[in-house]
Amino acid sequence: MVATAGNPWGLFLGYLIFGVTGSRASRAGGQIINGEDCSPHSQPWQAALFLDNEFFCAGVLVHPQWVLSAAHCFQDSYTVGLGLHSLEARQEPGSRVVEATLSIQHPEYNKPFLANDLMLIRLDELVSESDTIRNISVASLCPSAGDSCLVSGWGLLVDGRLPTVLQCANVSVVAEEECTELYDAVYHPSMLCAGGGQDRKDSCNGDSGGPLICNGSLQGLVSFGQAQCGQVGVPGVYTNLCKFTDWIEKTIQAS
């Protein structure tokens, strides 16, 4: 059962139940679980994607005119919020709301199923850097098991409530062998796993397309996970952006 972003889907694969994390309504991979309020504007590259004034996915500013997000969040057009700490205050000081009418999914998205889950969204205007809005570079080196990373988002909390402000959680990169074994039915080299620790910190529903920051660079995007977030020994799955630096650069230059 597949649906557009904003309408989460679940799928039974072997003994695993997955969900993509695009909507705020139920897990499709992405609420921040057991995190804490981010320091205001500590993640100035964080973007919020709105459709008909409803938040449905996150993104990351990687260029003054381009936002990266998960391909499963694709829409014909977007309203993109930048420099936000609270989604309740769309006009908070230092924030910008920009329209976007062009987005480009990776040509191999969903080939095979769930793989290559990224897209570029071109903003209709250039955005100037400020204290609250800044782009971040994409990691050129792939992560190592045990690397500590930060995931952030406005997805549902562990108690099912929506957060009032951006949430942050530290998660560790999981060895590729463990990720492959756990997600055997769908694992692809375009993915990386992080989280699953005893602290139960995790991304979850509503965090799709949001950033996984490792060693000061954008290492991943929230993609999917098991239907129940924050389980010990069950990491979330992220798009492994070190595999896509050439495509990102060439797509931006060509457009």
**Residue-wise pLDDT tens digits, 95-107:** 999 999 999 999 9
CA distance 58 to 248: 18
| Burial of residue 56, with CB atoms counted within 10 A of its CB: 0-12 exposed, 13-18 middle, 19 or more buried | buried
Catalytic residue among 23, 41, 95, 117: 117
Q: What are phi and psi of 178, to 5 degrees?
A: -70, -40
**pLDDT single digits (tens) 29-48:** 334 667 789 999 999 999 99
* Active-site position among 103, 190, 203, 208: 208
The full set of domains in the chain, from first to last, is 46-135+245-254 (2.40.10.10), 147-242 (2.40.10.10)
**Helices (H), strands (E): how many in the chain?**
2, 17
Which of 63, 72, 106, 188 is flagged as catalytic?
A: 72
Average pLDDT of the segment spanning 218-232: 85
Q: Can you give the pLDDT at residue 20?
A: 52
Burial class, 252, CB count within 10 angstroms (exposed 0-12 / middle 13-18 / buried 19+): middle
Annotated catalytic, 72?
A: yes
> Does the annotation count 208 as an active-site position?
yes
Tokens of 14: 């072997």
Mean pLDDT of all residues belonging to the chain: 85
* pLDDT of 151: 95
d(CA 59, CA 73): 9
**DSSP 3-state of 91:** coil
Q: Is residue 63 annotated as part of the catalytic site, yes or no?
A: no
CA distance linking residue 139 with residue 23, whole number of Å? 27
Q: What is the DSSP string of 108-131?
A: TTTSSTT-S--EEEEESS-----S
**Mean pLDDT lowest among 21-25, 33-37, 88-92, 214-218:** 21-25
